[in-house]
Amino acid sequence: MKLALDQSRIDAARAAAARIARAVHAEAMTRTTVAVERATLRLFGLDGVDVDYVPLPNRVVDHLAAEGLLGHGAALPFAGAMLEHGLDVQALGEAVAQGRITLTLPRDIPAARAKARALAQTACARIRANVATREDKLESAALQRTPWLYLIVATGNIYEDITQARAAAQQGADVIAVIRSTGQSLLDYVPYGATTEGFGGTYATQENFRLMRAALDEVGDELGRYIRLTNYCSGLCMPEIAAMGALERLDMMLNDAMYGIIFRDINLQRTFIDQFFSRMVNAYAGIIINTGEDNYLTTADAYEAAHTVLASQLINEQFAALSGMAPELMGLGHAFEINPALENGFLWELAHAQLVRQVFPDAPLKYMPPTKYMTGNIFKGHVQDALFNAVGAMTGQHIQLLGMMTEAIHTPFLQDRFLGIENARYVFDTMRDLGEELSITPGGRIERRAQEVLAQAQAMLEEIEAIGLPAAIGRGQFADIARQSDGGKGLAGVVTRAEGYFNPFPELMLPESLEGGPA
């Protein structure tokens, strides 16, 4: 079941997206952020909180900012002080937080660089060991056919989440996503330890990651399957959460280049810097990212704005490539959100999904269920979810976030998830090879719709290239929401890089083909 698409249009759209991303990236790499430098310290091994429960990475980075040193990066002053005082990472972080040591630029820059590289190499070795563990577990586990069944847990209590996650895995889920506590994306710090009091979700902390990873490994071993773990790598602490996920062997991260700007009003400059570092870490750790284009269709009309999804996916693809990410890790997002009252809406959903599948043939696409037009009528909702699953099966989607018939009523109960899994498994099994048996009518409604969306996306990208991505976001061209480059939360955490700025991770994590990669 293939669309006859104009490959020259796809190539032109992708080339425009590449130029858009490179222009933004070049500007972003003249600066750093507090989150990037905190992530660097976390990868070095700094963890814990002070007597006021402020995370030590925050204390050290705030100290560097107060001393006017943050533009040089955290790595050099911190590694230099370790050599000067003979302290390990944790002891130095505690001493700085207690005011017993003042960080300065090291007198012996080459020695400090060497020390920082050694710390970074230790972190990279731990991350690569996690990659090897994942690969070993996948090799020994039963083959998981796609689409993977993706389910969420969101109790607010990590121990309750573990109970629900185990149940979901036993019912057939392939991927467990732990929804973050409401508003965590706007916190400019990462909470510490195991948490039990989240609202609408559970705080993303390194200890929570460790606990859930261990629980899913345990239940996966019992079932003879590998259960993938997902969390949210977005917001003001995007790089830090990527670092924590890499250290604790998460498998997927919600990690979009523009979602935080558009939907959380996080500063545009801050986000573009942070998304590069976070995706670099995710790519090195073999973590599949999920982008957030599906959210565009909750605020804009899914039919009229379909081309904005494709344009954003192409931009997200190019930003991810600049971070060293292979297409096999790019879980580009889209959704089944057309108004069910629209005549031939199923045809348009099929056209959009097949278009995305063909434009990104190697990407593990993440397909989102209907939410905007779920009314609380559970019987109609179950039918809508079945149609969504049918499109996923027919078009070869890779990651299928299961619809819940109780969407818009309450957070799903265990039985709601069971019915969602039952619905999906029935449709995927009974329609397993349907897409290979069908052909799309040349010049018919589905093909014409896909060609129209592709042409609109190309035109949109060429317009964005002409005015620049910040200006396009300022005009509200994505999701009908406008954000300005000097507005939003977190701008104060953006710092111009000083001459001699140093961070050891890009040269270790980026492929050789990218600037800053290993020599």
Q: Which of the four pLDDT bands, split at 50, 70 and 90, describes residue 144?
A: confident
Residue range 76-101: average pLDDT? 98
370-414 pLDDT tens trace: 999 999 999 999 999 999 999 999 999 999 999 999 998 887 888
Which one from 226, 366, 367, 416 is the annotated catalytic residue?
Answer: 366
**Residue 66 forms part of a structural domain:** yes
Number of structural domains the chain divides into = 1
Which one of 47, 161, 174, 294 is the catalytic residue?
294
Q: Can you tell me the mean pLDDT for 425-444?
A: 96
pLDDT higher than threshold 90 for residue 142: no
Domain membership flag for residue 242:
no
pLDDT at 519 over 80: no
Q: Is residue 21 part of a domain?
A: no
Q: What is the CATH number of the domain that holds 115?
A: 1.10.8.1000
Query: What pLDDT does 413 receive?
Result: 83
- What are the angstrom distances between the C-alpha of 3 and each of 54, 76, 110, 303? 54, 53, 57, 18
Distance set, CA 131 to CA 125, 174, 251, 447 (Å):
10, 18, 9, 40
- pLDDT tens-digit map of 441-456: 999 999 999 999 999 9
Task: Give the span between the Cα atoms of 60 and 55, in whole angstroms.
Answer: 9
Q: Could you tell me which of 280, 187, 285 has the C-alpha nearest to residue 237?
A: 187
50 lies in a domain? yes
| Global confidence as pTM | 0.95
Q: Which of 189, 203, 259, 367 is catalytic?
A: 259
Category of 491 on φ-ψ map: left (φ > 0), alpha (ψ -120 to 50) or beta: alpha
* Residue 108 maps to a domain: yes
pLDDT on residue 415: 87
53 included as an active-site residue:
no
Instruction: Look up residue 207 and give its two tokens.
Output: 């200890």
Mean of pLDDT values over 296-303: 92
108 is catalytic: no
Segment 417-421 shows an average pLDDT of: 92
- Cα(264)–Cα(243) distance, integer angstroms: 21
Q: Does 268 reside within a domain?
A: no
| 115 part of the active site | no
pLDDT in tens, 470-491: 999 999 999 999 999 999 999 9
pLDDT band at 518 (very low <50, low <70, confident <90, very high): very low
Is 444 contained in some domain? no
Asked if the structure places residue 97 within a domain, the reply is yes
Q: Where are the beta strands (DSSP E) in 50-141?
A: none
Average pLDDT over the chain, rounded to an integer: 96
The parent domain of residue 92 ranges over 31-120
